[in-house]
Amino acid sequence: MPGPVPGQIALVKSGRGAGLYVIIIKLADEHSVLVADGGKLKNTRPKRKNIRHLQLVDRIAPEVYDSIIETGSVTNGKLRFALTRFLNERLTDEEKGDEFDG
């Protein structure tokens, strides 16, 4: 993907939230985006992050993307759902990978 897209999942690389997965909900300018996770970072008070401080994941949460395109916003519940599903799938993929090691 060339650049960040609303609904895209990202890993925070630096700052207090380092190691947390978030979802991009808006492109702020050419260097920064607004992110939220539906929990600590609510959609009503998203965190502004420099793109360089994020590791973009090659994954867009369709329900979040569709909601942002249709209504201009997304609910905290949809953000939490999308991140939970992503993390569960990621853990399942890692477990499958472990089966073949050895």
Model confidence pLDDT, tens digit, residues 56-78: 999 999 999 999 999 999 999 99
pTM beyond 0.75: the answer is yes
* Nearest C-alpha neighbor of 75 from the set 38, 35, 21: 38
* Nearest C-alpha neighbor of 1 from the set 71, 66, 51, 72: 51
Distances (CA, A) of 27 to 47, 68, 76: 12, 12, 18
* Nearest C-alpha neighbor of 24 from the set 14, 15, 33: 33
Q: Per the structure block, which two tokens stand in for 96?
A: 């499958």
Which fold, 8-99?
SH3 type barrels. (2.30.30)
Question: Given the structure tokens 């799938």, which residue do they identify?
Answer: 89
1 has a pLDDT exceeding 70 = no
